Homo-oligomer: A and B are copies of this chain.
Amino acid sequence: MRSVTSIDVAKLAGVSQSAVSRAFSSSASISDRTRQKVLAAAAALGYRPNRIPSIMLSGRSCMVGVVIGGLDNPFYASALERLAIALRQAELQVLLVQVDDALTLDTALDQLASYRIDAIVTSLAVGSKSVADALSELQTPVICFNSSLVGPWISTVVSNNYGAGQTAAGIFLKQGVTNPVWLAGPAKNAASRARAEGFCDTLKRASGHSGALIKLRGDDTYQSGYNAVRRLLQRGVRPDGIFSSNDMMACGVLDALRERGELHCPDDVIVVGYDNIPQAAWHGYDLTSFDQRTDQMVAVAMDMLDTALQTVDHPYSETRLINAQLIERGSTRPGN
The 0/1 profile, CB within 8 Å of B marked 1, for residues 85-103 of chain A is 1001000011111101000
Q: Do A46 and B137 form a contact, CB below 8 Å, given A2-B59, A256-B283?
A: yes
Chain-B contact segment, one of A69-77, A143-151, A235-243, A266-274: A69-77
Interface flag for A255 (CB, 8 Å): yes
Residue A132, interface by CB 8 Å: no
Q: Does the CB pair A98–B72 fall under 8 Å?
A: no
Taking CB atoms, residues of chain B closer than 8 Å to A139 are 1-2
Q: Give A72 to B74 CA distance when docked, in angstroms.
A: 7
A326 at the interface (CB under 8 A from B): no
Task: Select A56's contact among B1, B56, B74, B259, beta carbons within 8 Å.
Answer: B56
Question: In the complex, what residue of chain B is closest to A94 when comparing beta carbons?
Answer: B96
The docked-state distance in angstroms from the alpha carbon of A151 to that of B53 is: 31
Taking a contact as CB atoms closer than 8 A, the residue among B96, B110, B282 that contacts A66 in the complex is: B96
Interface string of A196-236 (1 = CB under 8 A from B): 00000000000000000000000000100010000000000
B residues near A74, Cβ cutoff 8 Å: 72, 74, 77
Say how far A280's CB is from chain B's closest CB, in angstroms: 12
Answer whether residue A302 sits at the interface, using C-beta atoms and an 8 A cutoff: no
The A91-124 residues at the B interface (CB cut-off 8 A) are: 93-98, 100, 104, 108, 110-111, 113-116
Question: Are A77 and B72 neighbours in the complex by a CB distance under 8 Å?
Answer: yes
Q: Which residues of B contact A96 (CB under 8 A)?
A: 66, 84, 94-96
Partner of A51, one of B49, B81, B114: B114
On chain B, the residues within 8 Å of A254 by CB distance are 284
Which B residues are in CB contact (< 8 Å) with A108? 88
Which residues of chain B have C-beta atoms less than 8 A from A258's C-beta? Answer: 283-284
CB A195 to nearest CB in B, in angstroms, measures 23
A279 is an interface residue with CB less than 8 A from chain B: yes
Verify B52–A1 contact, CB threshold 8 A: no
Task: Report if A98-B93 is in contact (Cβ < 8 Å); known contacts: A52-B116, A284-B258, A284-B284.
Answer: no
**Contact-size category for A:** 35 or more
In the assembled complex, 9 residue pairs joining A and B whose CB atoms fall closer than 8 Å, in A order, are: A51-B115, A52-B55, A71-B77, A71-B78, A93-B111, A94-B95, A251-B282, A254-B284, A279-B279
**Hey, which bits of chain A sit against chain B, CB under 8 A?**
1-2, 46, 48-53, 55-56, 59, 61, 63, 66, 68, 71-72, 74, 77-78, 80-81, 84-85, 88, 93-98, 100, 104, 108, 110-111, 113-116, 137-140, 222, 226, 251-252, 254-256, 258-259, 278-279, 282-285
Given contacts A63-B95, A94-B95, A256-B283, 20 further A-B contacts (CB under 8 A): A1-B137, A1-B139, A48-B113, A52-B52, A77-B77, A81-B98, A84-B97, A85-B98, A88-B97, A88-B98, A93-B111, A93-B115, A94-B96, A94-B98, A95-B95, A222-B278, A226-B283, A252-B282, A284-B284, A284-B285
